[in-house]
Structure 1
């Protein structure tokens, strides 16, 4: 074969290969299901939870206290407290009035009911939590409240509601003018020997009263199997363009998904995530967000991707725990059987931080669990759970504790994540006592040397 013929044949082959490659490139359509770390992220914007929660479902009191002059009572079962509050939310409230003069004297009945919330609640959201009459549609409340005191007005068979701020620097009052509601609550507070109510102890009564149950509570600990949420779902939710997201994996650090200005870390064997946007918020006068605006934005955002991964059938849910307008942070605490859940690794809260960039609200941080409760099994009664009297004696006798600094005392569930191997993981929910100081919850560790004599 002549050399020219060979060259011509080779040239024809190369031209053919070039045409095939060009056609392949021209006809290629990027797959919308991006592969991240060997897994398919299908662009689904759904974390598998609820997408319809409202403020009235997320804002609930941490306690409802029945006052009988010097004695105080609360619910033996926290779920009964939640049921009563759900009834209260349907009361028709009227005659709402704000008083600019806080020296105005509001008379209270000797018997009263107090609602205590875990966080200051903006008065602007009252009509989202409670039901107001049409005549109060034009009310313009301002400020915040942390407690609601309900008094009995016998003459008119009505209930008086005081919305009390933490600093006692403002006053708002309203009425429930319904005789049936009045009689129902009178009957409830008159029979305090019912099994659903138990006596409560109180500390700091004159400055910032803190109530907690007396006696021994009948509590159980539970084992729960979790279902993990694929973190690639949140890659789709939190990153504008998932196709450019890069991933690294480390046995010590965990998984990291990142772009030039956003990063999402996955910790605790895939059970928790932390997201941060490195876009710097503007520092002009528009950077501060109102508490109501923060709350609305956070709830809407989590609803938008079905992020309320709670299991109502297992009595597990999330509730508002904190609104901090100084840092633009909103936190929602996990609750189980009506009690708050605590975990020092961050498996107990959904937390968001917002900023303003070019006059638009932008999510700066988002930290949350990456699991859902699946099945509950092996409930076991806790026989050695300390009584309220024991806890009171412990607090008073402990030199390291200043009683005046205690903001709250409660029973909660400690969430313990257990992983025996890759095929066996479960969660233990163990009841424990907690105290709150400097806005921080701490478990009460009862050591032998600090046990008060005669305590149980």
Structure 2
């Protein structure tokens, strides 16, 4: 009897151990397998991941000494100074009423391409304590000098000039750095302020020798974009509408048109939500940044250029840059554009190439002087100064499909009535940057 009891006990132990082992095998999922599946589910366009700091940069830093204006000869030095400024400790933050730009004879003006939400300033700059940011946006920051204390005032000015936020830089070394620029002008070149325009515009006075560049590109496969934008790529159909247009659709999620001759893609979701919600600018910027980070879509040097928000539109644009200069092209060949309805991506237009090897260039191209540009604008039948919002040196991009390369030709560009155009004074119509 005792032997039978021992046998029964051993049998139950074996049965229990078997059940436990079976459950463990069924429920076990190797960590490596999960990691591999995650990587397989994530598409990769071959670019990088970006932060707010790397995407949001000023287009100009202007040094004013009395009635003279100066800017950096090398745009790379402007970028280096701004990156340094982001690490300066800002003290005594406060918000007050504004009365337009400061009137000091010596000041520094930092100009951004569009209004940046003040609540994002805490990510872009270094404040010595937690601060409550106002809800408005700034397009310009001014820095003025307190010579008695070797400190600087930092003024974030609202778009309408009626509100401002101020802080103090209490660092004699940084004070001396900016003051040296204002007194020696080393590394700077003479700039002109454009009169008659609705905004404060500054352009380099002397002719610039930038040079035409030829650059090989790596193309982004259309299927990678299908995998990125469609929830079930296996059911997406592909149709060639004409020689230079390919049409992808799943009859539910969206439509994507690819243009091989210029290597661009345009996606739209026709079954969008009818709920028209206006996003906060800071939410739109972060939502878009994370979305493009998710598929490593920053395939070139891109910077935030435009935020357009109303009840029906939450649109954001990023401009391509090369060696510190903006790159302009037609039909989304040099910009990334997204549009959201709440958290849903309903439109996505972008280039399908990545700048790669430098193939050579022509250093003999001289742009006309800023003085000549202003004179031609003022005497032009094409342009009205009331509609000129910005003027910049940049590159005009042409994609060469037969060589898988692009040509970047230096030119003057004007933001005319909200649209960037290559400036042409003698013949033809200005080239516009945007969609088809």
Q: Deviations 1:199-231 (Å, cap 9, x if unpaired)?
A: 001113795221000011121110011110111
- 2:288 corresponds in structure 1 to 298
Distance in 1 between residues matched to 2:242 and 2:327, nearest whole Å = 28
Q: Deviations 1:245-296 (Å, cap 9, x if unpaired)?
A: 1111233352211012211110143611011112222326xx1111000001
Distance in 1 between residues matched to 2:68 and 2:262, nearest whole Å = 48
Q: Deviations 1:161-210 (Å, cap 9, x if unpaired)?
A: 11112211211111111111112211222101x2x211001113795221
Q: Structure 1 pair 270/184, CA: closer, same or farther in 2 (3 Å)?
A: closer
Q: Structure 1 pair 301/223, CA: closer, same or farther in 2 (3 Å)?
A: same
Does residue 429 (structure 1) correspond to residue 396 (structure 2)? The answer is no
Aligned length: 387
Does residue 289 (structure 1) correspond to residue 275 (structure 2)? The answer is no
Alpha-carbon offset, residue 389 of structure 1? 1.6
Does residue 336 (structure 1) correspond to residue 333 (structure 2)? The answer is no
User: Which runs of no fewer than 5 residues in structure 1 stay unpaired?
Assistant: 1-41, 311-316, 450-456
Distance in 1 between residues matched to 2:241 and 2:217, nearest whole Å = 23
RMSD: 2.0
SS in 2 for 1:189: helix
Q: Structure 1 pair 320/206, CA: closer, same or farther in 2 (3 Å)?
A: closer
SS in 2 for 1:319: strand
Q: Structure 1 pair 323/84, CA: closer, same or farther in 2 (3 Å)?
A: same
- 2:124 corresponds in structure 1 to 129
Does residue 84 (structure 1) correspond to residue 86 (structure 2)? The answer is no
- 2:350 corresponds in structure 1 to 368
- Correspondence list, 1:440-451, <5 A: 440-447=419-426
- 2:192 corresponds in structure 1 to 201
- 2:16 corresponds in structure 1 to none
Distance in 1 between residues matched to 2:337 and 2:107, nearest whole Å = 35
Point out 4+ residue stretches in structure 1 off by more than 3 angstroms: 105-109, 250-253
- 1:57 corresponds in structure 2 to 54
Distance in 1 between residues matched to 2:101 and 2:113, nearest whole Å = 24
Q: Structure 1 pair 94/106, CA: closer, same or farther in 2 (3 Å)?
A: farther
Distance in 1 between residues matched to 2:382 and 2:292, nearest whole Å = 40
Report the TM-score, using the length of structure 1 for normalisation: 0.81
Q: Structure 1 pair 173/205, CA: closer, same or farther in 2 (3 Å)?
A: farther
Q: Deviations 1:34-69 (Å, cap 9, x if unpaired)?
A: xxxxxxxx8651111102x11111111100000011
Distance in 1 between residues matched to 2:207 and 2:227, nearest whole Å = 48
Alpha-carbon offset, residue 147 of structure 1? 0.5
SS in 1 for 2:162: coil
Alpha-carbon offset, residue 374 of structure 1? 1.1
Contact 1:434 1:444 in 2 (8 A): yes
Distance in 1 between residues matched to 2:200 and 2:151, nearest whole Å = 26
Contact 1:228 1:270 in 2 (8 A): no
Does residue 275 (structure 1) correspond to residue 254 (structure 2)? The answer is no
- 1:323 corresponds in structure 2 to 307
Distance in 2 between residues matched to 1:159 and 1:85, nearest whole Å = 15
- Correspondence list, 1:45-194, <5 A: 45-51=43-49, 53-99=50-96, 101-102=97-98, 108-133=103-128, 135=129, 137-192=130-185, 194=186
Contact 2:269 2:347 in 1 (8 A): yes
Alpha-carbon offset, residue 154 of structure 1? 1.1
Distance in 1 between residues matched to 2:397 and 2:102, nearest whole Å = 43
Q: Structure 1 pair 270/45, CA: closer, same or farther in 2 (3 Å)?
A: farther
Contact 2:197 2:386 in 1 (8 A): no
SS in 1 for 2:121: helix
Contact 2:238 2:247 in 1 (8 A): yes
SS in 2 for 1:190: helix
SS in 2 for 1:332: strand
Q: Structure 1 pair 241/432, CA: closer, same or farther in 2 (3 Å)?
A: same
Report the TM-score, using the length of structure 2 for normalisation: 0.85
